[in-house]
């Protein structure tokens, strides 16, 4: 597809190698270092949020209250959601962007390396603040990751102020990251790398970054309004003072729905690299993939009230948001069609990244279908706030976003470390995860349809069996992630030497530099034709 006319992979650059010691990581402006920092941080958050998920599932193993207090249970559901969304999924994608985008477009580094360092290093502080609320008087936030006011204002524990502060910092980090990514993609491309030649992961991130810039400030706005309601006597969400709690939901979901696409578009990008590689074919329908992502992004601003069908919207509102939501399924369907068509008559092999990618396509589609069911306003009155919703968004987020991240990590790990991963362990991890995820989340569809509400520590007896099944699945899934951690650490340390083009069918600039990728790549831009 593209060739280099300067040999850049053998630049010695010893005098420009990484600094040594902790200073290397604190002060680094190297996109590869920062990418690694983001990815390790995300892994740490993934495990932290995972422990919380297992506490939730342990309590729900049987009806009745046995392990934790209901108040603590609510803190666990809240913190699990916040940590997974803002601490695990989003930083992982930013980490992948840092590592891969400059290499994919033939740039020497990100456009704004110093800001890049800042956007990472404020994150650990945000999460230290958030997690420390667990030890505060009154406990951690307990109002759900959606923090509906006035539950999160009038009735919140005092730690809510720290929560707001943490969200502000995370928002700043995301905005800085997004600005950096846009500047890199628009201004740093190698000569000849036109927009319609951009690798799909780069396209997906360009669109995601614009979404971030559009909605993270709205999130900052809504938590600022909460702060003012709590401490400065305003009444944005307080009916007694003329405010309106439903307003909170409108503003929150104006952020919230685009946010779910922020968590899935980069996944689409990753999958669009892996499937062609292991099908040994070009991606089917490149242009339609780009347009599909762009239309998903635009439509995502017009559907937020599908989370609010039951607040008392007028009939025209219900209809508008119902049809607009269903419309999003069309570009999403185009993407699924293109992936399947790429595989069609390809010479497929099933290495670990490909297994995760195929599982992504299948299971994400199941999540899309349950989304379509929820989009039907009249039936959502029954499904809303039940485990059916939990099943839906876990299907799009766990075997969706998380599987895509893992697929990406396995796929690019040889490039990062210079070592082939342990395939056997990778496949074992895949199968345990695949089985675990389905045992966990598939039964939730049924208990949801049968009426089990979400966010409760105890439940009626008729839900007992399926809850037990789900909890068993969760423990299988949870513990099999240790295989992933182990495999990654082992691959970093040693392993069979990886070639520059670590996978036979892999295409793109990143595969033309050596493995492991030298500390500085593309100091002189390659020529792309």
Partner 1 sequence: MDTARANRRLVIRLLGGSVLMFGFGFALVPLYDVFCEVTGLNGKITRTGAIETVEADTSRQVRVRLIGINNEGMPWEFSPQQSLLTVNPGEMKQTAFQAYNPTGRSMVAQAIPSVSPGVAAQYLHKVNCFCFNAQPLQAGARADMPLLFVIDKELPPEIHSITLSYTLFDITEAQAADNGSAEPDGGSPI
Q: Rule CB under 8 A: which residues touch partner 1?
A: 111-112, 175, 178-179, 182-183, 186-188, 213-222, 225, 233-236, 238-244, 246-247, 250-251, 254, 312, 314, 317
Is 270:510 a contact under the CB 8 Å cutoff?
no
Does residue 273 carry a catalytic annotation? no
* Number of other CB atoms surrounding residue 521 within 10 Å: 24
State the catalytic residue, choosing from 31, 32, 57, 80: 80
Does residue 347 carry a catalytic annotation? no
- Six-digit token pair at 239? 């009916």
CB-based burial label for 381 (10 Å; 0-12, 13-18, 19+): exposed
User: Which are the contacts of 403, defined by CB distance < 8 A and separation ≥ 6?
Assistant: 356, 357, 359, 360, 363, 433
- Six-digit token pair at 248? 């909170």
Does residue 281 carry a catalytic annotation? no
Minimum gap (Å) between residue 81 Cβ and ligand HEM: 7
Does residue 197 carry a catalytic annotation? no
Residue 291, SS3? helix
329 near ligand HEM (CB under 6 A)? yes
Judged by beta carbon, residue 257 or residue 394, the one nearer Cu ion is 257
| Residues 297-316: x where in contact with ligand HEM by CB under 6 A, - otherwise, as a string | ---------xx---------
The residues in 246-265 that bind Cu ion, with binding defined as CB under 5 A, are: 257
Is 278:354 a contact under the CB 8 Å cutoff?
yes
The residues in 243-262 that bind ligand HEM, with binding defined as CB under 6 A, are: 260
| Residues 262-281: x where in contact with ligand HEM by CB under 6 A, - otherwise, as a string | -xx-----------------
Looking at the DSSP assignment, which residues form a beta bridge with residue 419? Answer: 497
Judged by beta carbon, residue 318 or residue 510, the one nearer partner 1 is 318
375 near ligand HEM (CB under 6 A)? yes
Residue 456, binding choice from partner 1, Cu ion, ligand HEM, none, Cβ under 5 to 8 Å by partner class? none
Which of 184, 255, 257, 274 is closest to 217 using CA atoms?
255
Residue 45, binding choice from partner 1, Cu ion, ligand HEM, none, Cβ under 5 to 8 Å by partner class? none
Minimum gap (Å) between residue 208 Cβ and ligand HEM: 12
325 near ligand HEM (CB under 6 A)? yes
For 470, what's the count of Cα atoms within 13 Å in the CB-facing half-sphere? 27
User: Which are the contacts of 135, defined by CB distance < 8 A and separation ≥ 6?
Assistant: none
Judged by beta carbon, residue 46 or residue 278, the one nearer ligand HEM is 46
Residue matched to tokens 């989003």? 90
332 near ligand HEM (CB under 6 A)? yes
Judged by beta carbon, residue 188 or residue 299, the one nearer partner 1 is 188
Which of 194, 176, 174 is closest to 185 using CA atoms?
194
Does residue 261 carry a catalytic annotation? yes
Looking at the DSSP assignment, which residues form a beta bridge with residue 386? Answer: 453
First to last CA, the chain: 8
68 near ligand HEM (CB under 6 A)? no
Judged by beta carbon, residue 231 or residue 494, the one nearer partner 1 is 231
Residue 239, binding choice from ligand HEM, Cu ion, partner 1, none, Cβ under 5 to 8 Å by partner class? partner 1
Give the separation between CA 79 and CA 144, rounded to whole angstroms: 8
Minimum gap (Å) between residue 334 Cβ and ligand HEM: 12
- Six-digit token pair at 186? 């628009």
Which of 215, 217, 101, 120 is closest to 173 using CA atoms?
120
392 near Cu ion (CB under 5 A)? no
Residue 386, SS3? strand
Minimum gap (Å) between residue 240 Cβ and partner 1: 3
Q: Which residues are catalytic?
A: 80, 109, 145, 173-174, 257, 259, 261, 272, 306-307, 332, 335, 454
Give contact residues for Cu ion (rule: CB under 5 A). Answer: 257
């Amino acid at each position: 597809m593209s060739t280099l006319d300067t040999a850049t992979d053998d630049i010695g650059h010893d005098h420009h190698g990484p600094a040594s010691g902790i200073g290397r990581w604190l002060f680094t402006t190297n996109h590869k270092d920062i990418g690694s920092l983001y990815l390790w941080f995300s892994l740490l958050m993934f495990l932290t949020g995972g422990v919380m998920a297992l506490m939730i599932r342990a309590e729900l193993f049987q009806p009745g209250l046995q392990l934790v207090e209901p108040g603590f249970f609510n803190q666990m559901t809240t913190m699990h959601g916040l940590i997974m969304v803002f601490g695990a999924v989003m930083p992982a994608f930013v980490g992948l962007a840092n590592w891969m985008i400059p290499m994919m477009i033939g740039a020497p580094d990100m456009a704004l390396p110093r800001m890049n360092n800042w956007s990472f290093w404020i994150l650990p502080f945000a999460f230290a603040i958030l997690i420390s609320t667990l030890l505060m008087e009154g406990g951690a936030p307990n109002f759900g990751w959606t923090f509906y006011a006035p539950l999160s204002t009038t009735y919140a524990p005092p730690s809510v102020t720290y929560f707001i502060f943490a969200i502000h910092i995370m928002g700043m980090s995301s905005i800085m990251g997004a600005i950096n990514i846009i500047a890199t993609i628009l201004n740093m491309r190698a000569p000849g790398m036109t927009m319609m030649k951009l690798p799909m992961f780069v396209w997906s991130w360009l669109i995601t970054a614009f979404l971030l810039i559009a909605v993270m400030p709205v999130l900052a706005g809504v938590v600022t309004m909460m702060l003012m309601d709590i401490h400065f006597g305003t009444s944005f969400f307080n009916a007694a003072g003329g405010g309106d709690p439903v307003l909170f939901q409108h503003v929150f979901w104006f952020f919230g729905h685009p946010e779910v696409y922020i968590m899935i578009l980069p996944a689409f990008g990753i999958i669009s690299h892996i499937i062609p590689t292991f099908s040994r074919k070009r991606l089917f329908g490149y242009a339609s993939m780009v347009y599909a992502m762009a239309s998903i992004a635009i439509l995502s601003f017009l559907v937020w009230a599908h989370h609010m069908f039951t607040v008392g919207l007028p009939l025209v509102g219900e209809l508008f948001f119902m049809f607009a939501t269903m419309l999003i399924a069309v570009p999403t369907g185009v993407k699924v069609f293109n992936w399947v068509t790429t595989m069609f008559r390809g010479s497929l092999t099933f290495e670990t990244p490909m297994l995760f990618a195929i599982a992504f396509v299948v299971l994400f589609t199941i999540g899309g279908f349950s989304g379509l069911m929820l989009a039907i306003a009249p039936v959502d009155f029954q499904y809303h706030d039940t485990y059916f919703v939990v099943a839906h968004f876990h299907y799009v987020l766990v075997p969706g976003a998380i599987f895509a991240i893992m697929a990406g990590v396995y796929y690019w790990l040889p490039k990062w470390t210079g070592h082939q991963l342990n395939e056997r362990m990778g496949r074992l991890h895949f199968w345990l995860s695949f089985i675990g995820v389905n045992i966990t989340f598939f039964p939730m569809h049924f208990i949801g349809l049968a009426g089990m509400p979400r966010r409760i520590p105890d439940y009626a007896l008729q839900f007992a069996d399926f809850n037990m099944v789900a909890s068993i699945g969760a423990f299988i899934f949870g513990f099999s992630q240790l295989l992933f951690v182990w495999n990654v650490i082992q691959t970093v340390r040693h392993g069979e030497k990886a070639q520059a083009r670590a996978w036979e069918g892999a295409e793109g600039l990143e595969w033309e530099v050596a493995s492991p990728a030298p500390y500085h790549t593309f100091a002189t831009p390659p020529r792309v034709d």
